[in-house]
Structure 1
Amino acid sequence: MNAHLPQAEPEFAGRVALVTGGAGSVGRIIVERLAERGATVLLNCFHSYDAAKEQARELTGRGLDVRVIRASVARPAQVERMFAEIGETYGRLDVLVNNAAAGSFVPFDEITEDLLDRTYATNVKGPLWCARYARPLLARAAGKGGAVVNVSSLGSVTTPANYLPVGVSKAALESLTRYLAAELAGDRIRVNAASCGLIDNPVGQMFPAFDDVRSNTVAATPLARLGRPEDLAEVVLFLGSERSGWVTGQTVLADGGLTLLRSAMSPTPEPAPAPEPRAAEAHVPGAGDADATDATDDPVAIVGMGLAVPGASSPEEFWRLLLEGGELFVEAPADRWDIARFHDEDRGAPDKTYQRRSGFITSFRPHERLREEGLADAGLDHTTLWLRHSLHQALEGVRREAGDRFSFCVGYTPDGSQHLEEAFVLRDALDTLAEDGDDAVEGPLGRALRRRFHRGDDPSGGYLPHRVGQDAMRGVLPSGTRLHMVDTACSSSLYAMDLGVRDLLSGRSDIAVCGGSFALAPSGSVLFAKLNGLSAGGAVRALDAGADGALFSDGAGLVVLKRLSRARADGDQVLGLLSAIGLSADGRGKAIYAPAPAGQELAVERALERGGFGADEVDWIVAHATGTPAGDEAEFTGLHARYAGTGTRPTYVTSNKSLVGHSGWAAGVVSVIHALLALRHGTIPAQYRFERLPDALAGLSDGLRVPEEPVPWPARADRPRRVAVSGFGFGGTNAHLILSEDHRATARSGAPLALPSPVDEDLVVVGWSSRLPGDPDAGAVAAWAAGEGPGPEPSFGAVYPVPPFQELRMPPPTARTTDRTQLMLVHCMQRLDERVREFCLRHRKTAGVVVGHTGATRNALLYKTRAYLDEIADAVDGAEEPAVTAKFLQRLGERATGMIAAPTEDSFPGEMPNVIAARLSNYFDLRGLSLTVDAGEASFLEALSVAGLYLGFKEIDVALVAGVNGTALPGWNDSGGRPAAEGAFLFAVTRRSLAEEAGLPVLAVMESAATGSAATERSVPA
């Protein structure tokens, strides 16, 4: 019946309001409610500009009047310019809300002058400058005059722990409110302050041990809950409206009765109710309160860690090892393999290693969750078991919420799984036995083989790399978790961390779990021995004059990454901050396995540049340093070139491989955990087994020092402590990572991870080529892809047709030991359109190679059977009539030795999956980065996605993205019961602007993988 009555005009209709820090949690609600009640709202921000623009677009889309204006309130010149712009555009201002805030939650002893200055500049000086320059505009306000509302906090009248800088500045702001009220009253401008109790929002959640603070506050609050952003917003709107027209110079406190001290002053306080559950929320970088959670100043934090290495099943046990030492290099345990079957003192003996000792996990204590799940003794692949153990450990105490998006990034190789190795050996042996019929396979010899190689008798294929990742996280991380299995040899787990960081910064994920896993297997020791790279003495002496080689070891490790604002909001323990990661490829050098100082230096240079600080700001380097004299000398020389002579103090250099060995694809994350433990304990552990530098390095000890005793490493007042971690992979895949402590007094100015935002630009395919059996031309391949022509042959056959030296420029012995996948990609690169190839070479320093490949290479599989011939003979000894056994072993031996020659120094790099990508970088002198990814049959699509991520962040300018398979061996890499066909496809992808600048054709457009969407073809011009 009131349909014809006049409707009340919105409370702020026709008014102009400015809200500083309007992109924050409270600020967003103030902006939204002012706009909903009729105001034209000017949303001020400085750092959170992208978030502010998105917020304004959303509100404008609802028909509200919201506009963004960028200025720092701590800088008077920018404030003056902002109000001049408002005056020119609107002629007046009705409401000014001073909401922008800055500050950190720090203990009393960590407060610095710089922190106080920055906090005071934003929280006190900012409102003063805004009031001064807004005064003439507010004096022209419509109605009864303008209103200023300063947003304060409970810390102005109480003393929460770790809150002194903010609390004191807010007390000053309330005092300023009274002075401004008196000064501006003559212009009919009212000035008040709005304050609230502890708020359950991203800023409030930054309080250290927030859950405890929350519980204590709720227990002491008569209304039995924390404040909400909406509570404070309504107080602000009241003070900015004409409803408070007779109020000025006051602070209105909405704290739910906390300051009544009811709980403290009553003899029998009522028990606190259970904390309210927090609703799931999307954690958008930069969506916190003003400067406090700014996306551009919000580094990536490490909030959890877990590991298993020889002698330690947890980080705490690892720390004791680092301080106390231990003898961890032993002969292969009997339950792993019989070393006598793979060993020979003669270094020239084919298919044998000259070293019996390695680093084995022999006293593994599985996480309690593994026992509860029944998986501790379930026969999982070692790498899966240790990864899952590390995952449970790393997530302890890490807050997770429904709806969180995860990435699981794992450095991994199929060459680092004893289960996979035994799977192929068993299958190859049984295939040979099957020549005598099914009865032979099921007979005594078959049963003896399955007993000995029981780890490989897994029809599910759980030993394949992508399955290892899936099984390790199944039921622990959500089903939609992004899985990256990345192979860059010994730098793999650092590359995995880099991918996790990019997933976080691009908004793909809220939490990234990153690391690596590796298990020793006999064939790896055999192949590495042919490089003469193993320690003959049976112990690693990294960086020492007595070093004589490396020893590999079992190992797995994971760290959990979040944005710092999210970590603090969740009350997680911040173990350290990722300040920078630098990646590089060696490009052309000597042999592909020879260390290249220039490539390593390039990774260090990129890390320092991205971190935005000098080498003298890094206190310590956990070096890759494997104990090979040539490798250690190259690395130490490169580090000296970048780090020495930068200050009056030395930079310490150590390596944990003298203690726990070289954990291969997990080595980088093991060193990261080493560094995080030292940050926690304030000590740099001494270098184990160290007496003196080699003579060749003695002259470089002026700037770099290898500590012979533990070095105290206390917190500094002037800057965060920093430590670098190096990982240099076989084939020239380099990574250098820099960690900083969570130095709360300087964290916001202490070099957050310096990655740009993903670019909003098309990624385009500008060229492609292929290498297939029968060598069809591009037209035939296109017709086959369109279903209009016959497909290529499934395989190149037993012997790959190696091109002549003039075309391949590779010595024939090296070419013969190089897996066909590597040769196929070199051929594909040579087949690219000449303009595209020249474009790639012009951008060689920023050209990256990303290859999708699944499982072990053909050469790797064939070497495994050769290495196991004596083990197989021992397994079947006495199982059958001697003549039957001898016939089987003869056939198997002839087959194994006939399909591939005895390994040489070129064999190990020739078979490694990561070298598929690295070979292209090495051959064509490309220095951006190179990596291989494994996602099973989706490996090429994963390669496209990863390449798009690096292109989108401008880490590289051109990506050579490939999908390749060279393993059409019967029964291996089956797809629907049929062997996967061999072949390679290579695509050149770049950003559209670079393609247009070079005049290259756009063959297809990818949706940007930097934003998390899959790579898809949009159009293919005729």
Structure 2
Amino acid sequence: MTGPLGGRVALVTGGAGSVGERIVRGLAEAGATVLINCFHSYDAGRRLADDLVSAGHHAEVMRASVAKPAQVERMVAEVDRTHGSLDILVNNAAAGTFASWDELTEEHLDQAFATNVKGALWCARAARPLLARGTDPCIVNVSSIGASHAPANYLPVGIAKAALESLTRYLAAEFAEDGIRVNTASAALLDNEVGRRFPGADSVRANTVAATPAGRLGDPDDLADVVLLLASPGSRFVTGQTLLADGGLSLMRHAMAPTPSTPSTTASSTLHGDERHPVRHSRPTSTDPATDGESPSRVTTPDPVGSDHTTASVPTTDRPSLPTDPDPVVVVGMGLAVPGASDPDGFWRLLERGGEQFVEVPPDRWPAHAFHDDDPDAPDKTYQSRSGFITDFTPHPRLEPDFAADPTAKWLRHSAIQALEHVTTRPGDRFSVCVGYTPDGSPHLQEALVRGELEALADPEHAAEVAAFADRVLPGSRTGHLPLSHRIGQDALRGLVPDDARLVMVDTACSSSLYAIDLGIRDLVAGRADVAVCGGAFALAPPGSVLFAKVRGLSRTGAVRALDRDADGVLFSDGAGVVVAKRLSRALADGDAILGVLAGSGLSADGRGKAIYAPSSGGQSLAISRALARTGIGPADVDWVIAHATGTPAGDEAEFTALRDAYSSGTVQVTSNKSLIGHTGWAAGVVSVIQALLALRHGRIPAQHRFTAVPERFGIEGTGLTVPTESVPWPARADRPRTVAVSGFGFGGTNAHLLVQEYRPGRANRSGYGTRAARPAVVVGWSTHLADGGTFGDAYPHPPFHLLRMPAAAVRATDRTQLAILECVDRLPAEVRAVCEAHHARVGVVVGHTGPTRSASLYGLRAYLDALDEAADTESVKVLLKRARHHATGLIGAPTEDSFPGGMPNVIAARPCNRFDLRGLNVAVDGGDESLSQAFATARRYLEFGDVDLVLVAGVHGNTLPSWRALTDSATPPTEGAALFAVATGDLAEATGLPVLAELTEESP
């Protein structure tokens, strides 16, 4: 062991990362035996050690998390056992979060301090006896320039590093009596993969190079050389010091002004101007400043200035430094049908003049009295018979008179015809069709499910009689049409788009159409589509009203009063809406009318909270912050928020809290169209987007209908938020484009916040999508939970409490698909689950599931039984209905507050988020037999744009009831169960040491 450090033993924490590897190699080449500490990057550490040993050096790997004192103690005990002493300790492991001041949480601080400060202290304290036996013993802590300066979005890491430098001085004083030197090596932004993940990395790099006399960034070798210098005998008279290698950046020799094109809201991690007055920009351009006002989230990102991680680092997708885009996505067409309006112009007139749209159930929809009871506890009944029905529908002239499919398909087709009517398309255009839709909410589907169960229970000799009865009482079931989700989409768009158009039916409950728009934008930006047709559709059906009544969420007074002190609940409504989008360059070339710019959206999941149907202001705040960060739009640049605001007191308060926290710095109008037209469910988001586009056209923000005053608990006093009681002029302004935000959220914690701006020719336009990443998506783990014999039987075996942490009553009301996916998550390899837990703010879930759940089908049958009994006119039918009642009530209990979310297909994806506190996003897609394939494709779209770093992709099926077999014409129904795949970015897999089992290519499912 020759060299200046021959015979020495060195322990390097975080030794497998970019800087850590350089330190390890330098020490080994200087003759030291190097102990490489790593945790998630253990495999990378093994490869490094093998490489060094093969080159004739001495290296070993020791796996331990420095953030856990017990693991540190075990690691140091192993060093004592195998080597007896230690000469050099390098505390290089680090953790941290990019977070602006407003987004900072206590957990961000705790996470950074646990590794950067406490980890270094625990390692130093545990190693002290071994160092005292060593030769010229020393400790080198690795810091960054953020300890002494104030880069934007760097506060958690920066103050932890400052504490580490202070700790260095205390340790130097304390350990001096043992002859142990303690110093700090520090650097500015490094030119390495970690440094390139810093928000606005390109702009930061350019500004830093321009301000550094050395004329370049430092690299990992520069920092490693400082560590080696402090560890060498040549520094034996230096202790308690911090040695900064920044190329002269801190001299402030050159002005560090941002480039002229950099907007003032762009995040930067360098200083601008005099170091005593650093500029702090309002928003980071990183994709995920994880923050939650109710339940703090943990997102670990690499420390971009200086050292590397051993605790699970989250590689973030590089973002362009400027959120402006010469070719953003724009809206070129729109169409809708809602209560009181059959087109956008009619909708605008309705918004301006108002009018009562809440009515009793029309006689041609269903017999309201058979489903109604004033007692909210009455089984299988709703306490409200008023809703928003489309009763005066005027079909588009091109809508075929004989298009007698499910009403949702009819309204969706009508809206798509309107939206495409004046849009130029070309032969060979690639279309992306994304539609928000619930797999189990259409009236024809509900009636078809009930019919399927009755026919399965009927005696063969009475089959014709039962069929005639069903034709009369369940008219929606006799059309011969199969009203499953993906078929609704196919029928609605057939002939309007090419047969090979990509079609995805998106289910995130009431935010579905906003997620659909977001997916369409991604296909345009990624170059997969030339035209995107995006929207949603929803129709009222009795079972939905019954189940939602058990949540006590329906208005008792029969009217929605969103944002109002007298709000007492929501009323759902029929509705459909479609927008057509293109890239700006294509729209201009085609001569299309440009209605507005889709600047970008923020998506999030609520993670762990209260009941899975309880709204979370923290989850919504996260979606808002992601939207602003992604687009670079500042809160003060937003003029108006079209809130989701459904009129439920708890929901409105949670949303207003999030809006107040985000937008109080400006003057912002807040409204909700649900007081006028009701809650159009899976179409609600696109209806609000169309309202925003209409207001941009007319230069006015419509007043809030049915409004007197906000509740005191909203805390509106002292903020710039206003709920307008009269129409507000909204003229174009010279300094910036008019901007409106559209919010949406749904059961299961599916939050979306979309920013829409006016188009201003010749001006820079916002686009928060940039370009997609070229990094591969890889499968890093999988699990299954399949039923023996094809079905779990009449009663799904209840999982143990530790898996669910749900009351027994809630478990009984939860569909087997939701329980099966939790079983799959629990069966994932331990290392995959550990990464999910460590990075939960950037983990998403996408589920492929087709059709209604078993629970929803059975609750629907229960809801219809009284209406069927009333209509029964033969003895054989009455006997059949008694059998059906025994069948239904024997398989599922009366609905409770847990039943609606417990049977919703989109909540399948929400269960892992709620159970494991995942904050990325959660989505369900329905593509029929191709549902799992579509789930993989959808997950890729989120991974490639950097929204998440890991997605749990699942295919789930749990319905083998006769009604399902009748709908699918399947003699052998699919096996019940779930298959789950963990799909990560290649960067995350490499950084965390997860095994790569397969790579997803563009053609992969």
State the partner residue of 1:60.
Answer: none
Aligned-residue offset at 1:843: 1.4
State the partner residue of 2:802.
Answer: 806
State the partner residue of 1:414.
Answer: 439
Judge conservation of contact 1:423–1:458 (CA < 8 Å) in 2. no
Match status 1:301 vs 2:319: no
State the partner residue of 2:773.
Answer: 759
* SS of residue in 2 equivalent to 1:868: helix
C-alpha RMSD of matched pairs (Å): 1.9
State the partner residue of 1:440.
Answer: 462
Mapping of residues 962-1001 of structure 1, within 5 Å? 962-973=954-965, 974=968, 976-1001=970-995
Q: 1:398 aligns with which of 423, 431, 434?
A: 423
Match status 1:668 vs 2:697: no
Judge conservation of contact 1:426–1:450 (CA < 8 Å) in 2. no
Mapping of residues 520-535 of structure 1, within 5 Å? 520-535=540-555
Judge conservation of contact 2:850–2:928 (CA < 8 Å) in 1. yes
State the partner residue of 2:1003.
Answer: 1014
Q: 1:626 aligns with which of 624, 646, 657?
A: 646
- Report the Cα distance in structure 1 between the residues aligned to 2:543 and 2:820, rounded to whole angstroms: 25
Judge conservation of contact 1:358–1:552 (CA < 8 Å) in 2. yes
Percent identical pairs in the alignment equals: 58
State the partner residue of 1:379.
Answer: 404
Aligned-residue offset at 1:745: 4.4
Judge conservation of contact 1:766–1:836 (CA < 8 Å) in 2. yes
Distance 1:458 1:768, change over 3 A: farther
Judge conservation of contact 1:304–1:395 (CA < 8 Å) in 2. yes
Mapping of residues 331-480 of structure 1, within 5 Å? 331-370=360-399, 373-375=400-402, 378-433=403-458, 436-437=459-460, 439-443=461-465, 445-461=466-482, 463-480=483-500
- Report the Cα distance in structure 2 between the residues aligned to 1:585 and 1:841, rounded to whole angstroms: 15
State the partner residue of 2:871.
Answer: 875
- Report the Cα distance in structure 1 between the residues aligned to 2:383 and 2:377, rounded to whole angstroms: 9
Judge conservation of contact 1:683–1:711 (CA < 8 Å) in 2. yes
Offset from partner CA, 1:721-748 (integer Å, 9 cap, x none): 00000001111000000000012242x2
State the partner residue of 2:502.
Answer: 482
* SS of residue in 2 equivalent to 1:350: coil
Aligned-residue offset at 1:701: 5.9
- Report the Cα distance in structure 2 between the residues aligned to 1:562 and 1:922, rounded to whole angstroms: 36
With normalisation by structure 2, the TM-score equals 0.67
- Report the Cα distance in structure 2 between the residues aligned to 1:989 and 1:765, rounded to whole angstroms: 4
Judge conservation of contact 2:787–2:975 (CA < 8 Å) in 1. no
Mapping of residues 872-911 of structure 1, within 5 Å? 872-876=868-872, 878=873, 880=874, 882=875, 884-911=876-903
- Report the Cα distance in structure 1 between the residues aligned to 2:869 and 2:414, rounded to whole angstroms: 35
- Report the Cα distance in structure 2 between the residues aligned to 1:795 and 1:706, rounded to whole angstroms: 52
Aligned-residue offset at 1:632: 0.4
- The one-letter code sitting in structure 1 at the alignment partner of 2:500 is G
Q: 1:328 aligns with which of 329, 335, 357?
A: 357
* SS of residue in 2 equivalent to 1:515: strand
Distance 1:500 1:724, change over 3 A: same
Aligned-residue offset at 1:999: 1.2
Offset from partner CA, 1:170-197 (integer Å, 9 cap, x none): xxxxxxxxxxxxxxxxxxxxxxxxxxxx
Q: 1:314 aligns with which of 308, 320, 343?
A: 343
- Report the Cα distance in structure 2 between the residues aligned to 1:712 and 1:952, rounded to whole angstroms: 40
Match status 1:694 vs 2:694: no
- The one-letter code sitting in structure 1 at the alignment partner of 2:776 is D
- Report the Cα distance in structure 2 between the residues aligned to 1:565 and 1:446, rounded to whole angstroms: 56
Mapping of residues 453-852 of structure 1, within 5 Å? 453-461=474-482, 463-644=483-664, 646-647=665-666, 650-700=667-717, 702-746=719-763, 748=764, 750=765, 752-774=766-788, 793-852=789-848
Aligned-residue offset at 1:971: 4.6
Structure 1 unpaired stretches of 5+: 1-69, 79-116, 119-293, 775-792, 1008-1012, 1017-1022
- Report the Cα distance in structure 1 between the residues aligned to 2:969 and 2:921, rounded to whole angstroms: 31
- Report the Cα distance in structure 2 between the residues aligned to 1:491 and 1:716, rounded to whole angstroms: 31
- Report the Cα distance in structure 1 between the residues aligned to 2:861 and 2:651, rounded to whole angstroms: 30
- Report the Cα distance in structure 2 between the residues aligned to 1:946 and 1:700, rounded to whole angstroms: 42
With normalisation by structure 1, the TM-score equals 0.66
Judge conservation of contact 1:326–1:659 (CA < 8 Å) in 2. yes
Work out which structure has the larger RCO, using CA pairs closer than 8 Å and 6 or more positions apart in sequence.
2
- Report the Cα distance in structure 2 between the residues aligned to 1:605 and 1:538, rounded to whole angstroms: 35
Mapping of residues 928-947 of structure 1, within 5 Å? 928-947=920-939
- Report the Cα distance in structure 2 between the residues aligned to 1:331 and 1:794, rounded to whole angstroms: 44
Offset from partner CA, 1:41-87 (integer Å, 9 cap, x none): xxxxxxxxxxxxxxxxxxxxxxxxxxxxx99xxx9x99xxxxxxxxx
Aligned-residue offset at 1:429: 1.4
Range with greater deviation from structure 2 (396-405 or 622-631): 396-405
Distance 1:553 1:503, change over 3 A: same
Offset from partner CA, 1:601-638 (integer Å, 9 cap, x none): 00000000111121000000000000000000110011
- The one-letter code sitting in structure 2 at the alignment partner of 1:374 is P
Aligned-residue offset at 1:699: 4.1
State the partner residue of 1:1003.
Answer: 997
Offset from partner CA, 1:647-701 (integer Å, 9 cap, x none): 4xx2000000000000000000000001110000000000000000112125446
- Report the Cα distance in structure 2 between the residues aligned to 1:595 and 1:805, rounded to whole angstroms: 24
Aligned-residue offset at 1:832: 0.4
* SS of residue in 1 equivalent to 2:552: coil
Range with greater deviation from structure 2 (605-614 or 294-303): 294-303
- The one-letter code sitting in structure 2 at the alignment partner of 1:318 is F
Aligned-residue offset at 1:975: 6.2
Aligned-residue offset at 1:762: 1.9
- The one-letter code sitting in structure 2 at the alignment partner of 1:873 is D
Aligned-residue offset at 1:583: 0.3
- The one-letter code sitting in structure 1 at the alignment partner of 2:422 is G
Distance 1:1005 1:493, change over 3 A: same
Aligned-residue offset at 1:931: 0.3
Aligned-residue offset at 1:806: 3.1
Judge conservation of contact 2:451–2:963 (CA < 8 Å) in 1. no
Aligned-residue offset at 1:456: 1.4
* SS of residue in 1 equivalent to 2:564: coil
Judge conservation of contact 1:449–1:875 (CA < 8 Å) in 2. no
State the partner residue of 2:126.
Answer: none
- Report the Cα distance in structure 1 between the residues aligned to 2:717 and 2:915, rounded to whole angstroms: 32
Judge conservation of contact 2:535–2:578 (CA < 8 Å) in 1. yes
- The one-letter code sitting in structure 2 at the alignment partner of 1:533 is G
- Report the Cα distance in structure 1 between the residues aligned to 2:437 and 2:781, rounded to whole angstroms: 30
Judge conservation of contact 2:449–2:963 (CA < 8 Å) in 1. no
- Report the Cα distance in structure 2 between the residues aligned to 1:296 and 1:616, rounded to whole angstroms: 21
Offset from partner CA, 1:569-592 (integer Å, 9 cap, x none): 111110000111000000000110
